[in-house]
Amino acid sequence: MRDFVQKVVDKLNVEETKDQVSVVQYSRDPEVHFYLNTYRTKKEILDTVRSLKHKGGAILNTGAALQYIKDNVFIASAGSRRLLGVPQVLVILSGARSRDPISHAAHALKQQGIMVIAIGSKATDIEELQTLSFNPSLAFIFSEYFDLYRLENQLLSSMRITTLKYSGILVESRIGRRDVVFLIDGSDSSRSGFPAMRDFVRRVVENLDVAEDRDRVAVIQFSSDAVVYIYLSSFSSKDTVISKIRTLRHKGGRSRNTETALQYVKDNVFSTISGSRHLEGVPQVLILLTGGPSSDSARQPASTLKDLGILSFSIGTDSVGLPTTAHNFVFPINDFGELPDILLDVLFTLKRTTRIAQPEETKKDVVFLFDGSDDIINEFPVIQDFILRAVEKLNVNEKKDRISVVQYSKDAMVNFYFNTYASKNKVIHAIRGITLKGGRPLNTGAALQYVRDNVFTASSGSRHMEGVPQILILISGGKSSDSVELSAIALKRIGVVPVSIGLRNADYREMQSISNSPNETFSVRDMRNLQNIQTELFSALSRLVKARYPDPTIFISSGGKTLRSKVLQLKCSIIVCKRILNIVVKHAFEMY
């Protein structure tokens, strides 16, 4: 645990005016090792953490510890900047179930806007962790203490969910998956400004959620020609990307051929073979940094990028060379020394424009795949009722939400397909008439493969070829007897978004590996609490649908330090045609 804290702190930007850290240890009662304002440098904090000794004590009073931290650590005199709008984060590392009540203290922390992330061992109750956490998706479990290191990136990613207050505007730090390409002017005339451009790129990347299945980054320099330093598929960790950016050297070259560079990026970087996920509907972003007008005409390739749905940012010292008709967002600056001044404006625009804003009436194809084995016989009525209530909240009809229900044990059995029933009343009547399949063992991997091959198909009523979101809700009461990994990957590759609900004896890690991400995994140990996760489930579904199918709204920005936005609403028909074309191309490749 001490090493884990050390590694996390090492990745924070610790300064008096940046990140501040406090460490508290507790058992029967809490002990503060240092407050938020005790140390001003990362080295001081790391040296102190390395020297920490185990406190000891037989009783674990987590509730009392939370109350103590609220009253004595998250206060101004101890260094808290909560009243200044600085995000407040509490990371709990717990090895056992609390001996005292936690609900009141946990609620009090949430009321103050403190984001609680709970990490517990297998001896900890998952429901207790979810109660402690700001929301259930911020609860994590490790099997053994040496496995803690695997949660490091998940923790840091979750911490970035917190919001930064800037000029009264809340900016979300984590918004989903993006492919972000930086195109940097490397011509001779930009030599003096190159360090500032390189530092700007690094700082933007530090605010991204870089991972193979989250944000991907590419970096290209150009002058008379373009050179790729990092492809979208080159690195899957933020540290590696930042390390590579730090080593960038100025390319040089007399010409600034922006048109050639943009064409090169379109053909060679925003491509599937280079790691682009445009066929999966992942937002594609280009950030151009230039020190002057192009030696060739840059308007046409930029417009082509825009027509392909790539969000184009143009940042430079020559406003004449930054046509708003070619780029979605324009940030003119007088010199590269002003780049730090527009950083938050750029981040705000980037994160807002790649967020999903989907109408509530978005159509969906939803499959409920539930454990129908002998081991779940007593829980079957509760599962049946859960599915009924979920369907009641959906807008079920032929042109809106379509439902399929499948149960499985050793093999899978379809109760009805997407196109079996066209009305909510018929679907509900069919669910009420379902009887348990029974059987052993529980082959979740085979069931996932079955629904991929037989349910998420056009002949079964799936509308994936029309760009309709494909959702799988898996409800399992035990660990699978077969491997789930390849089947889960196969589902995700055709655009299905899995959400997992683990009951009783389900393997939480297995559920996480199946889900779209660990945040879309729910654990319910007490069947009486199954209905309690409905709100979180539908919130996750809404978030996932929006993340895969963005709203066609683009902003055109201009004006240095002050961000001024105009909204340009594209015709929905163009977006639909692009989606259909992308899906057709994707499936053609898969068939090939």
Q: Are residues 331 and 184 in the same domain?
A: yes
Does residue 190 sit in the same domain as residue 317?
yes
Number of domains in the chain: 3
Mean pLDDT score, 379-403? 89
385 shares a domain with 338: no
**Residues 205 and 129 reside in one and the same domain:** no
Domain final position from 126, 159, 192: 159
Query: Residue 548's pLDDT is what?
Result: 52
| 513 and 369 within one domain | yes
DSSP of 58-94, one letter per residue? S---HHHHHHHHHHHTSSGGGT--GGGT---EEEEEE
Residue 397 domain flag: yes
Is residue 172 in a domain?
Answer: no
3-state secondary structure 432-456: HCCCCCCCCCCCHHHHHHHHHHHCC
Rounded distance between C-alpha atoms, residue 394 and residue 400, angstroms: 9
Q: What is the mean pLDDT of residues 246-256?
A: 92
Cβ atoms 185, 198 nearer than 8 A: no
Beta strands in 163-268 (DSSP E): 163-166, 169-172, 179-185, 216-222, 226-230
Q: Let me know if residue 580 belongs to a domain.
A: yes
Q: What is the layout of strands, in order, in the sheet containing 470-476?
A: 412-416, 402-408, 365-371, 470-476, 496-503, 521-524
414-440 per-position pLDDT tens digit: 999 999 998 999 999 999 999 999 999
Same domain as 376, residue 349: no
The better pLDDT of the pair 546, 347 is held by: 347
pLDDT band at 155 (very low <50, low <70, confident <90, very high): confident
Least confident range from 29-33, 65-69, 550-554: namely 550-554
Q: Which residues pair with 166 in a beta bridge?
A: 169
pLDDT score, position 464 = 81
In a domain, 165, yes or no: no
pLDDT at 590 over 80: no
For residue 261, give the amino acid letter: A
128 and 37, same structural domain? Answer: yes
Q: Please report the pLDDT score of residue 480 as a whole number.
A: 93
Q: Which of 138, 76, 79, 78 is nearest to 106 (CA)?
A: 138
pLDDT at 545: 66
Instruction: Please tell me which residue, 297 or 515, carries the higher pLDDT value.
Output: 515
Average pLDDT, the chain: 80
124, 159, 194 - which closes a domain? 159
Range of 14-23, 144-153, 343-352, 437-446 with top mean pLDDT: 437-446
Q: Is the pLDDT of residue 160 over 90?
A: no
pLDDT at 575: 42
* DSSP states of 379-447: THHHHHHHHHHHHHTS-BBTTSBEEEEEEESSSEEEEE-TTT--BHHHHHHHHHT------S---HHHH
Average pLDDT over residues 75-83: 79
Q: Is 568 helix (H, G, I), strand (E, B) or coil?
A: strand
Structural domain boundaries enclosing 328? 179-357+554-591
CA-nearest of 173, 149, 171, 170 to 161 is 173
In a domain, 242, yes or no: yes
- Each residue of 172-219: pLDDT tens digit? 333 468 899 999 999 999 999 999 999 999 989 988 888 887 899 999
Say if residues 245 and 198 touch (Cβ distance below 8 Å). Answer: yes
Q: Is residue 57 part of a domain?
A: yes
Integer Cα distance of 72 and 92 in angstroms: 16
Same domain, 418 and 514: yes
Q: Are residues 381 and 526 in the same domain?
A: yes
Whether the model clears a pTM of 0.75, i.e. scores above it, the answer is no
Q: Residue 559 domain-assigned?
A: yes
| Domain containing residue 403: CATH number | 3.40.50.410
18-58 confidence digits (pLDDT tens): 889 999 999 999 999 999 989 888 999 999 999 999 999 88
Question: Looking at the domain assignment, is residue 167 inside a domain?
Answer: no
Q: What distance in Å separates the CA atoms of residue 268 and residue 411, rounded to the nearest whole number?
A: 44
Name the least confident of 164-168, 293-297, 298-302: 164-168
Could you give the angle at which helices 62-72 and 103-111 cross, rounded to 10 degrees? 30
Same domain, 140 and 70: yes
User: In the structure encoding, which two tokens stand for residue 102, read together?
Assistant: 């936690």
Question: What distance separates the 2 farthest-apart alpha carbons in the chain?
Answer: 76
DSSP 8-class letter at 243: H
Tell me, yes or no, whether 183 and 329 share the same domain: yes
CB 172 within 8 A of CB 200: no
Mean pLDDT of 116-124: 82
pLDDT higher than 70, residue 547:
no
Does one domain contain both 377 and 351? no
Amino acid 142: pLDDT: 72
